[in-house]
């Protein structure tokens, strides 16, 4: 009896995932990590008010979530100064990026990104048969002008830019992104991933009319709001573009608990400000730990810091593996020359203490 065949595009792809999760690594090593500093989660946690709202919502988990995300959409619209028609809520930025690619890309369509940028976007492009074109980072940062030039060269339907950037933590000034829009090809669309925007300086946030049909912006409750496990994010842009998501999205994909938590987290801006202050302090401490051990911290506008080893990717990979042996989970960029760095997520003092203790031991072994 033959196994039914896959459709042509998935049949041509390897069965891989963009990231190996820390739980998988813990099973492989046979022990939990003492310091979880690799996935850019918010170790300082969500608003206690949001946790209470989610706990209350759990009693009604027998109900489907509101398929329109009505209350959350209204709150987000007020927060951003747009209308609910400018917004779509989905299962994390990853889920929304997948929908955006599905909405815009047919097999053979051209897509532009940066070499070494967020790999989940590339995964979605491959899944729908798009053709990826990559440009290099400039000075460890994504380069809006070069991305736009490549998009014009190939006639890209989609161009992807994360600002601030993952995996390097660097950022572009908002005016550079505004200028980039004028350089895109006719009919081209910028997917602007702003997952870390709450940590960014004000100058990094572009001023773009919400009706502009050249860009869709993506933001999340996973990072600054501390709700990565809830899988909830949103995108906003021109209402005609955003309406397209309703053609293909999973209308009951965001559960009641996530909706309740996000609604209260958005309202608790005092907690958000406290978390941002803790992240700044943690970034400073990670930089000091690196400096004390001969590593150089890159400037960061995120909740992580890239530490430059001054060596190569093989050395950085050995450092990541060595820290894992010490119970400290970190990650690193995957592409040279970015892969000379390791990436440390901001976390509570106790976990940074473990990192500070383990790092010199591993470096000595290397």
pLDDT in tens, 324-349: 999 999 999 999 999 999 999 999 99
| pLDDT value of position 128 | 97
- In this prediction, residues 78-106 reach a mean pLDDT of 98
Length of the chain: 366
CB within 8 Å of 338: residues ≥ 6 apart: 116, 137, 140, 167, 168
**CA atoms of 65 and 87, how far apart (whole Å):** 17
- In this prediction, residues 245-274 reach a mean pLDDT of 97
Q: Express as a percent the part of the chain with pLDDT over 70.
A: 100
Residue 17 pLDDT exceeds 90 = no
Residue 74 pLDDT exceeds 90 = yes
Residue 18 pLDDT level (bands cut at 50, 70, 90) = confident
User: Where along the chain do its domains lie?
Assistant: 18-45+270-365, 48-267
Residue 152 pLDDT exceeds 90 = yes
Q: Write out pLDDT tens, residues 207-221.
A: 999 999 999 999 999
| pLDDT value of position 104 | 98
Q: What is the pTM of this model?
A: 0.97
DSSP 138: B
- In this prediction, residues 289-309 reach a mean pLDDT of 98
| pLDDT value of position 19 | 84
From 7-16, 133-142, 210-219, 302-311, the region with the lowest mean pLDDT: 7-16
Tokens of 295: 């590593």
- In this prediction, residues 20-41 reach a mean pLDDT of 95
Q: Write out pLDDT tens, residues 171-200.
A: 999 999 999 999 999 999 999 999 999 999
Count Cβ neighbours within 10 Å for each residue of 211-228 and write b for 16 or more, e otherwise: eeebbbbbbbbbbbbbbb
| pLDDT value of position 35 | 98
Q: For residues 295 and 320, is the Cβ–Cβ distance under 8 A?
A: no
* Domain at 18-45+270-365: CATH code: 3.90.1150.10
DSSP states of 23-37: HHHHHHHTS--SEE-
- In this prediction, residues 127-144 reach a mean pLDDT of 98
Please state, rounded to an integer, the average pLDDT across all residues of the chain: 97
Q: Write out pLDDT tens, residues 265-286.
A: 999 999 999 999 999 999 999 9
Dihedrals phi, psi of 138, to nearest 5 degrees: -120, 120
Residue 87 pLDDT exceeds 90 = yes
- In this prediction, residues 69-97 reach a mean pLDDT of 98
Residue 7 pLDDT exceeds 90 = yes
CATH architecture of 48-267: 3-Layer(aba) Sandwich (3.40)
Count of helices and strands (H, E) across the chain: 13, 12
Residue 1 pLDDT exceeds 90 = no
Residue 16 pLDDT exceeds 90 = no
């Amino acid at each position: 009896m033959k196994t039914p065949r896959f459709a042509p595009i998935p049949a041509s792809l390897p069965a891989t995932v963009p990231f190996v999760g820390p739980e998988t690594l813990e099973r492989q090593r046979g022990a939990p990590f003492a310091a979880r500093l690799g996935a850019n989660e918010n170790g300082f946690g969500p608003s206690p008010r949001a946790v209470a709202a989610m706990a209350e919502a759990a009693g009604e988990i027998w109900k489907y979530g509101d398929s329109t995300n009505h209350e959350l959409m209204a709150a987000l619209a007020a927060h951003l100064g747009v209308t609910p028609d400018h917004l779509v809520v989905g299962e994390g930025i990853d889920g929304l990026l997948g929908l955006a690619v599905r909405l815009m890309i047919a097999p053979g369509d051209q897509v532009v990104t940066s070499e070494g940028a967020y790999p989940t976007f590339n995964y979605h492009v491959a899944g729908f048969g798009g053709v990826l074109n990559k440009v290099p980072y400039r000075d460890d940062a994504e380069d809006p002008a070069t991305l736009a030039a490549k998009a014009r060269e190939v006639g890209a339907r989609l161009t992807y830019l994360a600002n601030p950037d993952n995996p390097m933590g660097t950022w572009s000034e908002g005016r550079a992104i505004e200028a980039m829009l004028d350089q895109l090809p006719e009919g081209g669309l910028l997917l602007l991933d702003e997952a870390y925007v709450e940590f960014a300086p004000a100058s990094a946030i572009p001023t773009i009319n919400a009706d502009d049909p050249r860009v869709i912006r993506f933001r999340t409750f996973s990072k600054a709001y501390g709700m990565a496990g809830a899988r909830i994010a949103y995108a906003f842009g021109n209402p005609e573009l955003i309406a397209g998501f309703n053609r293909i999205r999973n209308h009951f994909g965001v559960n009641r608990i996530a909706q309740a938590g996000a609604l209260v987290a958005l309202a608790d801006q005092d907690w958000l400000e406290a978390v941002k202050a803790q992240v700044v302090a943690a970034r400073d401490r990670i930089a000091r730990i690196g400096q004390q051990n001969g590593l150089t911290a890159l400037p960061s506008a995120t909740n992580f810091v890239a530490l430059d080893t001054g060596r190569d990717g093989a050395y950085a990979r050995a450092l990541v593996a060595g820290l894992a042996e010490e119970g400290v989970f970190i990650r690193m960029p995957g592409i040279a020359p970015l892969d000379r760095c390791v990436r440390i997520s901001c976390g509570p003092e106790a976990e940074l203490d473990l990192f500070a203790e383990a790092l010199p031991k591993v470096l000595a072994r290397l």
